[in-house]
Structure 1
């Protein structure tokens, strides 16, 4: 009898221990910690593929333009690169591929990208590549336009917007934010198209997001790339039209460099900017990825952070306007 009682106690203790471990695992899986990737992934762009997975592209590094994949925006694995050394764009001599922007137009995935060198603000430009699959490989179609040809200094940081049954590309870096209309396939400018300005010279890294009756222009101000001295900050303005006028809470124009703060530096992270497209989870919550330096590990470069956008009176910001140390995993 004692044997069976002891055996029963052992079974119950094992079950309780197993249940406790399961709860702990589920609790751990329900939360994440920043950074979600602790190596450099500047200027992230993200999109959900036809397979339900999320795909992230970032500024070129030694691995070319990296492509990472995730189911939950938290756990990322690199699966390849957009180009190879043989297929990467070359229209700017010695240029790097910066700030890609991934989209789907029709049945094709269309990747817009900047190509530039530090200080080459009139030779830089924006190009386009396509693939039948979001994970690539991508076929480069070359340059859409160059700064000196279109008349906008530092024409980088593309952001594709489809509205009013037309395609547009927003772009610009510290010399005004502009837009141009694109052809139906998104692979060329409309004939005779001239850029129009929508925001002032304080901004770069544009991302346009529509929620309700408003369009929100997210952008970055300050210095992006000076390690612990970086002052990058994510800001926003809103308008009832994708083409502006974008205003702050007080009705002041982004054309005059007025805006609201979305996220700025904290005691742990600095240089918080160049956010991705906004992702909406199945609960209707909005999320953004962006880069920053970690003060205690700045040698890792511009690492990847994830934060939920909190909406107050129609305005988005990260909670307390600083990166979260920990948060709930998106409901995807």
Structure 2
């Protein structure tokens, strides 16, 4: 063997040994994801972690009959189908769309609350509920809980379910006040005799409440959701020591008087950012939130965005820069 061949053989052996002991791949800390996480229109996302650890995400039906996606890491998503079919979809508003789903696990069932409305039908719209044994469905519709004209709250959409002290409650409302009412033990009907109560003013829709460190944080959205690149939607928050308020902003202004503090606003790439999902934690304890926005580079709908929720020294939530990230470190899974 000549010297050149010997040298090449030794180098090849050294490189092979190095690659075997130290694979040339980035560490978890170096991995990045880019927004949008899913570049199709998925407005008003809601998310749940199933008993096997898989995440399932649902959204307003720009994909007809309510789309379902699954993921194990919050970044890579698989389309699983829809919650309903044309034959099984709710029909209490025959020409209505299925908006702003809210997924929950109640008494061993996956319970999906939904809004049903035609655009501008603020007195005929309403909220219904469906159930399934599996997060992929099939979901069986249990019908409407109420319409706007039955509960006397105009624009009764954008519901959110929460449990507190063994009781079950539904919050809802869209720019006509945010309200709450108690549900039955199975979560499938209004509790007989329950009375609604107003929680926040007329600036808000898309309620989500998150309990942390002795506070209830009421996330909501303000502005216009659906005007493409001219959308002014923003995600805002107030907090309270009790579930039913009073909720106040950083300056102490009551949300009943339309006070709020900013969580996510626009930037040069994404506008109309709001209507958040539930907050979920990764294995490192980091908290993540999904929401929709409009990509000015490709404004074909309201695409799915993801960001890590951070908390300032006074305990107020925000995302870095108060606007969507273009790229960030992946969740830890």
Normalised by the size of structure 2, how large is the TM-score? 0.95
Whether the 8 Å contact between 2:29 and 2:329 is mirrored in structure 1 is no
Which aligned pairs between 1:288-299 and structure 2 lie closer than 5 A? 288-299=289-300
Aligned to 1:6: 8
Aligned to 1:214: 215
Q: How many residues align?
A: 330
Whether the 8 Å contact between 1:292 and 1:302 is mirrored in structure 2 is yes
Q: Which string of whole-angstrom CA distances, capped at 9 and with x for unpartnered residues, describes residues 106-164 of structure 1?
A: 10110000000100000000000001111111000000010000000000001000011
* Structure 1 residue matching 2:276: 3-state secondary structure: coil
Aligned to 1:235: 236
Aligned to 2:310: 310
Q: Which string of whole-angstrom CA distances, capped at 9 and with x for unpartnered residues, describes residues 9-54 of structure 1?
A: 0132355568887324x46982111110111000000010111010
Q: Which string of whole-angstrom CA distances, capped at 9 and with x for unpartnered residues, describes residues 239-291 of structure 1?
A: 01111110111211000000110000000000000000011222221110000
* Structure 2 residue matching 1:251: 3-state secondary structure: coil
* Structure 1 residue matching 2:25: 3-state secondary structure: helix
Instruction: Structure 2 unaligned segments of length 5 or more: list them.
Output: none
Instruction: Structure 1 unaligned segments of length 5 or more: list them.
Output: none
Aligned to 2:36: 35
Provide the rounded CA distance (Å) in 2 between the counterparts of 1:323 and 1:188.
Answer: 37
Shift of 1:195: 1.3
Shift of 1:192: 1.9
Provide the rounded CA distance (Å) in 2 between the counterparts of 1:100 and 1:240.
Answer: 27
Whether the 8 Å contact between 2:158 and 2:206 is mirrored in structure 1 is yes
Aligned to 1:172: 173
* Structure 2 residue matching 1:22: 3-state secondary structure: coil
- Deviation above 4 Å: which 4+ runs of structure 1? 14-21, 26-29
Normalised by the size of structure 1, how large is the TM-score? 0.96
Which aligned pairs between 1:38-49 and structure 2 lie closer than 5 A? 38-49=39-50
Provide the rounded CA distance (Å) in 1 between the counterparts of 2:294 and 2:160.
Answer: 23
Aligned to 1:109: 110
